[in-house]
Structure 1
Amino acid sequence: MGEGRRETWTTEEFGSSHTGAVGVLLADGTVPDPAYFDSGSGPGGQAVSQWSVYDGRWAHVPRAAALRTVCSCGWAGPEHRLDWEVMEGQGLDLDDGGEDQADACLKDWDGHTEQVEATTIPLPETVTTLLERLEEEIDKLTRTSPVAAVRAARRLEVTAERGRLLDGPRHRQRPRHRTGRRRSRAQRGRCAEVDGPPRPLEPIPLTPPQAAGVTPARVYVVDR
């Protein structure tokens, strides 16, 4: 999936084995290399693969012709073509004009991970019921005693790790109920500025129970 920094998506169950991102295709169908930007103050710099930098404004960065989902497992989604004539006519840069295509890529990745989930062995109904009840109780603790909620989450984490070591990875299941959303434009920030290199994107902070792996969530982060 490239070495440059960019926004990525993961699920708590599959983790890095199914890390998704918006990929870029050029007009000839090839995948561009990460764009490199000098730091401007001394040695060093950063390589960036965020889709919104591929707008052709820098001589060393080509212009994207389409966006598509890419996954660390090797899967790639369908192409979503970019209409540069429309974007330029409306005075939009790629970050604004390509947002619908980027959102479509996220939906494609959601569908991909759901298909992966469908191939796993389902949990017994009794276990599912117990887990759902446990999640509800921890949610209540989050409101009344956050510290106790974190402790409970940690106990669950230890129990899950013990089960993984005893039974092997074949028994680990994807959570049935997933929450979360793609970050808004205000949260994502702008990856590219006309007069300088991209500003870093900041990850969404998670509340303690979610961070401890109790409430299923999709986590959107930026590779560093």
Structure 2
Amino acid sequence: MYGDREGWERDGFASHEGVVGVLTADGSEPGPVRFDLGSGSSFHESIDWWHYDGTSHRPTATSMRGRCACGWRGERTYPIDWAKVRRDDNPDAYDTSGPYGDWTAHMDQVADRAVALPEDLTGLLHQVRERLDHLLLEEDQPAAVLKAADELEDIVAWVGPTAARLLTYGQDEPTPEIAAALGMTETAARARLLHYEHLDR
């Protein structure tokens, strides 16, 4: 895949953002590259693969692999040809389809473990989204879209907290199984359940 300056995302699984990960010659994964912005103790950090080029005392990556925010790392690695990267002077032009394909396969597994919505509900949600998208394009309809959004928030505030309590009954923290069923990382699942806990109207 070309053009990877942004992370990879799949609809419905936002917390599983994927990126190109890197490895050094000894097979280790280096920490974030730090950039001194010249303002005292202020540093910018990056894990963008093209920053691991060995310049300015940075680690030199010798290979890349798929990487996901959930902690998953691709088993397959792909060599980095820095001569080609520097010659083209455009990281977006470098082929990262290998890591992307492995992350895609990982996301297929994440999706398989997530709870499947009933087909009729999936259809209804799709229709609502599609109808609201069309309303946004109509000059005199933004107020209708906002009113619909308010109705949807009322529905979420009514059913979300109850569903969250039923899902976590007798538990202080969401289990890995709950996170998997929601298609989220454990951190994201914890934040989502906490959000619903305080959403009662």
TM-score, with length taken from structure 1: 0.60
Match of 1:148 in 2: 144
Picking from 126, 129, 144, the partner of 2:123 is: 129
Task: Find out whether 1:165 has 2:165 as its counterpart.
Answer: no
User: Can you give the 5+ residue segments of structure 1 that lack an aligned partner in the other structure?
Assistant: 1-5, 175-224
Name the % identity. Answer: 36
Match of 2:47 in 1: 49
Work out the number of aligned pairs and report it.
163
| Stretch moving more, 29-38 or 164-173 | 164-173
Rounded Cα–Cα distance in structure 1 between residues aligned with 2:25 and 2:147: 52
Picking from 88, 105, 119, the partner of 2:113 is: 119
Counterpart mapping for 1:183-198 below 5 A: none
Deviation per CA, 1:118-148: give whole Å up to 9, x if none. 2223222222222222222112211112343
Rounded Cα–Cα distance in structure 2 between residues aligned with 1:150 and 1:104: 42
Counterpart mapping for 1:30-45 below 5 A: 30-45=28-43
Q: CA deviation at 1:113?
A: 1.9
Query: Which letter maps to 2:13?
Result: F
Match of 2:14 in 1: 15
Query: Which letter maps to 2:133?
Result: D
Q: CA deviation at 1:30?
A: 0.6
TM-score, with length taken from structure 2: 0.66
RMSD over equivalenced CA pairs, Å? 3.0
Task: Find out whether 1:61 has 2:58 as its counterpart.
Answer: yes
Larger Rg: 2
Q: CA deviation at 1:41?
A: 4.5
Instruction: Identify, as 1 or 2, the structure richer in helix.
Output: 2
Match of 1:206 in 2: none
SS in 1 for 2:87: coil
